[in-house]
Structure 1
Amino acid sequence: MLQLFISDLHLDDERPATTRAFLRFLQEEARGADQLYILGDFFESWIGDDDSSPLIDTVTAALRELSSAGTELFIMQGNRDFLLGEVFCQAVGAKLLPDPSVINLAGEPTLLMHGDSLCTADKEYIAFRQLARSEAWQREVLAKPLEERRALARQLRMASFEANSNKADDIMDVTPEEVSAQMAATACSTLIHGHTHRPARHQVTVNGKSGERWVLGDWVESSAEGEAGHCHYLRCDGTDLQLVRYLFS
């Protein structure tokens, strides 16, 4: 059983190198994998499954090709694409995962999350998250014309950027007590999440026992300073977990 975990691609027309890298990832790393999990912020923004664009069409076709070849696909909503729904998942042959979800990984129950709900010190964001996940708010937004939703998405992205620029790094990271509480509540000694853009493997304590928290990386395009485009994904071959650095080219 080969299972792969990725998150925080933030696919967008303004990030073509990331799209190209993802398409190559599907052809190379994911080809022949038993399962591929995308744990949120797959797209930079998502205004509803009724939206269409060349980017969405390209990604839909590539995922559908992978799922048709036998790889099981699982997609979780993130804080950027929380309106992504069943219609898109059906189009690509994926299952929409609730956040949180528990799966069997290497014979052990493992907790999967996007990770934003773990950042409880960021009270302003947590309040918005509760609003944006409510059925009433989503129903009202999805009833608006596409152009109004696009404008709202731009507004929310700008507000998020401005708000985050004024927050301390530790506020936007996970709260250790919330991590332990979520793992204890689900009886899981392993947690996999994204969101924080801080790929790493952490040792944690859950109910007095040792556990692990694996953080996936975001997909970073090459910079003017010479940093190569890359991401970090998690690979499980049925026994061992490995955080892998993947170069765009």
Structure 2
Amino acid sequence: MTVLLISDLHLEEERPDITRAFLHFLATRAADAEALYILGDFFEAWIGDDAMTPFQHDIARALRRLSDGGTRVFLMHGNRDFLIGQRFCREAGCTLLPDPSVVELAGERVLLMHGDSLCTRDLAYMRLRRWLRNPLTLWLLRHLPLKTRHALARRLRKESQMQTRQKAAEIVDVTPEEIPRAMHQYRARRLVHGHTHRPAEHALVVEGEPATRIVLGDWDRQGWALQVDAQGFLQAPFPLA
């Protein structure tokens, strides 16, 4: 059976081309798959399940149709949508995965991550990430007035874009030493993650054994999906049109 893995769609109303491509993807390739894994930054921003827009409800209903049709749907938080909660998952018929998670694909232990936790050289971001993911901070964020959450999300997004432009490329990419450490910790020889928007397959050696890191592509100028089936692991782009 086929399993599909995608990440970094950054869905928002301002990009109807990505939304159309995703809905077509659900109705065609994903409908024939055993499972679909979405590894974070599914939405460009998420300020809480209680603040879902009609657009976000439409996406949830599309995922529910896929789930009702027999495809299992798994969702992992990204740095843009870490406030997605169980209310959305119930509506969408999907299962929320912790980051990281280990699953079995094609008979292999595969480590799944969003990827931002691997960027340990970006010290400012790692401090912010620890603060934002603190359970107390999450509780406070979910209970702020909607107007305040909207303003905070806009501010964080603006600052993130500005800092990314200013930082060196190696700072915002994953730290190479973190890859074998994580794979050793979770006893996996294959790692799949997104976040960096640098789709590639990297061969490496972990504890003297061959290993592979697959970086999922983002959906911007084109879409990307990793397909796992009897032929192995293959990632390929496709047009959004």
TM-score category by the smaller chain? over 0.9
Corresponding residue number in structure 2 for 1:81? 81
Corresponding residue number in structure 1 for 2:9? 9
In the TM superposition, 1:196-207 aligns within 5 A as 196-207=196-207
RMSD of equivalent CA atoms: 0.9
Corresponding residue number in structure 1 for 2:229? 237
CA distance in 2 between counterparts of 1:80 and 1:52 reads 15
Counterpart contact for 1:105–1:238, Cα < 8 Å: no
In the TM superposition, 1:27-46 aligns within 5 A as 27-46=27-46
CA distance change for structure 1 residues 109 and 239 in 2, over 3 Å: closer, same or farther? farther
Moved over 4 A (4+): none
The one-letter code sitting in structure 2 at the alignment partner of 1:34 is: E
CA-to-partner distance for each residue in 1:134-166, whole Å, 9 max, x for gaps? 011111111111121111100100010111111
Number of equivalent positions: 241
In the TM superposition, 1:66-105 aligns within 5 A as 66-105=66-105
CA distance in 2 between counterparts of 1:7 and 1:105 reads 17
CA distance in 2 between counterparts of 1:157 and 1:76 reads 20
In the TM superposition, 1:16-31 aligns within 5 A as 16-31=16-31
Corresponding residue number in structure 2 for 1:247? 239
User: Do structure 1's residue 126 and structure 2's residue 118 form an aligned pair?
Assistant: no
CA-to-partner distance for each residue in 1:183-238, whole Å, 9 max, x for gaps? 00011000000000000000121111110000100101xxxxxxxx3122100014
CA distance in 2 between counterparts of 1:247 and 1:38 reads 19
How many percent identity over aligned positions? 49
CA distance in 2 between counterparts of 1:119 and 1:142 reads 26
Look up the SS of the partner of 2:172 in the other structure.
coil
CA distance in 2 between counterparts of 1:208 and 1:133 reads 34
Corresponding residue number in structure 2 for 1:162? 162
Counterpart contact for 1:204–1:212, Cα < 8 Å: yes
Greater fraction helix: 2
Compute the displacement of 1:86 (Å): 1.3
CA distance in 1 between counterparts of 2:17 and 2:119 reads 29
CA-to-partner distance for each residue in 1:24-77, whole Å, 9 max, x for gaps? 111112112100000000000100111121210210110000000000000000
Corresponding residue number in structure 2 for 1:219? 219
Taking structure 2 as the reference length, what is the TM-score of the superposition? Answer: 0.98
Taking structure 1 as the reference length, what is the TM-score of the superposition? Answer: 0.95
User: Which runs of no fewer than 5 residues in structure 1 stay unpaired?
Assistant: 221-228
